[in-house]
Amino acid sequence: MTNQHGTIVAVIPARGGSKGVPAKNVRLVGGVPLIERAVASARLSRLIDTVVVSTDDAAIASVASAAGAVIVDRPASLAGDTSSSEAALLHALDSLETDPQVLVFIQATSPFIDSDDLDAAIARVRDGEADVVFSARLTHAFLWRDDEDGATGVNHDASYRLRRQETEPQYQETGAFYVMNVAGFRQARFRFFGLVGIALVPDLTAIEIDSEEDLEIARAIAPLVSTTTQEESWSPSALTL
Does 161 qualify as catalytic in the annotation? yes
In sequence order, which ranges of 32-181 are alpha helices (DSSP H)?
34-43, 58-66, 85-95, 115-126
**SS3 assignment, position 200:** strand
**CB distance 35 to 108 below 8 Å:** yes
- In sequence order, what are the beta bridge partners of 57? none
Write down the catalytic residue from 46, 145, 161, 189: 161
Q: How many CB atoms lie within 10 A of CB 9?
A: 23
Nearest residue to 185 via CA among 71, 78, 83, 105: 105
Nearest residue to 175 via CA among 154, 205, 195: 205
Q: Could you list the beta-strand ranges (E) of the chain.
A: 8-13, 28-29, 32-33, 50-55, 70-73, 102-106, 132-139, 144-147, 150-153, 170-181, 196-200
At position 88, the amino acid (one-letter code) is: A
Radius of gyration of the chain (CA): 19
**CB distance 108 to 13 below 8 Å:** no
User: Known catalytic residues?
Assistant: 161
